[in-house]
Amino acid sequence: MNDGSVPKQLVMRVSDCDFQREVLEKLARLEERMDTLIGNNQPGRMRDAENRIRTLERNDVRRGVYDRLVNAAITIALSVGISWHGHWGLR
């Protein structure tokens, strides 16, 4: 028992056990976070975020079309006004 290797092995086993417990705890927390992000057989945060992005993209395209139509109408009105200003007696 006076051999110096016996206490070192005991210390290594204890620290290995502590290390394994810490790693398992971290893995459990990581798994919980992944379930929260992806969802556990139900929509998770990522799926919700993807759906919101799709909705925003559709609205952005729709708004872009409306903006172009309004800009085209304003441009036509200004062009007609400029081209006909002499006929209306405006100078």
pLDDT of residue 9: 54
Please check whether residues 27 and 64 belong to one and the same domain: no
Please check whether residues 24 and 53 belong to one and the same domain: no
Please check whether residues 31 and 52 belong to one and the same domain: no
Tokens found for residue 24: 């398992």
Please check whether residues 35 and 50 belong to one and the same domain: no
Domain count, the chain: 2
What range defines the domain where residue 4 resides? 1-42
CA 14 → CA 6, 9, 26, distances in Å? 13, 9, 18
Return all residues near 44 (Cβ < 8 A) that are at least 6 apart.
35, 36, 37, 38
Report pTM.
0.40
Please check whether residues 66 and 82 belong to one and the same domain: yes
Confidence class of residue 34 from pLDDT cuts 50, 70 and 90? confident
Q: Please tell me the least confidently modeled range out of 13-17, 67-71, 73-77, 80-84.
A: 13-17
pLDDT of residue 40: 64
